[in-house]
Chains A and B, each alone.
Chain A
Amino acid sequence: AQTVTQSQPEMSVQEAETVTLSCTYDTSENNYYLFWYKQPPSRQMILVIRQEAYKQQNATENRFSVNFQKAAKSFSLKISDSQLGDTAMYFCAFILTGTASKLTFGTGTRLQVTL
């Protein structure tokens, strides 16, 4: 079974600063996807960034980037130039590539961006 661990229940960052959220996972499989989802107070799940395990290059989406270390099974999210609108719960998630796969979520990190 796959597991996803987020060891930081809460994080705080000042506006315009950079913050890194940690995520580790455990799997014996080789082909999978990793995601970071944002859940603001509206509770809508928003995809922030996706990484395909077979790609060595780290994914980036504007101010969001990941540090994907496959051998270490680590998948951290870096948010640059933090904005007040980044305040939310952030979930790391994992899914195998097969059609019978299910998305496994970490416990989440609550990020607060302050002035």
Chain B
Amino acid sequence: GAVVSQHPSRVICKSGTSVKIECRSLDFQATTMFWYRQFPKQSLMLMATSNEGSKATYEQGVEKDKFLINHASLTLSTLTVTSAHPEDSSFYICSARGLSQKANEKLFFGSGTQLSVL
């Protein structure tokens, strides 16, 4: 089955630094990638949707200058948390959608990244 690789799985950084998280579709072309944030014992909250070659669409309340999303190719999207602060500590998950007409039948998830900001 299709695989989405997300790296790193865990990152610890100092407050004020930037962290980049990568999400790669390994055996299919992902026209759309979704980035979610998940706090402990809560559901996944959609942060933004990125389409290859265009600017990401951010959900209400998500700072686009803080959470930079790039989707430069059909197999790679990155989320950069800029000037990270302790409140940005969370679990981040990406999800990818393929090219087919019935692509919404199945979305593929990365394994997630636990970000801890000290």
Contacts and interface: CB of A to CB of B under 8 A. Distances in A.
Interface stretch (A17-25, A72-80, A104-112): A104-112
A22 to B, nearest CB: 15
Contacts of A108: 42-43
Interface residues of B, number: 23
Interface in A16-66: 33, 42-45, 47, 50, 52
Given A43-B112, A45-B93, A105 B104 contact: no
Interface in B95-117: 95, 97, 102-107, 109, 111-112
A108 B40 CA distance: 12
Contact of A106 (B43, B91, B112): B43
A7 to B, nearest CB: 14
Contacts of B107: 95, 103
A19 B105 CA distance: 25
Interface of A: 33, 42-45, 47, 50, 52, 91, 95-99, 101-108, 110
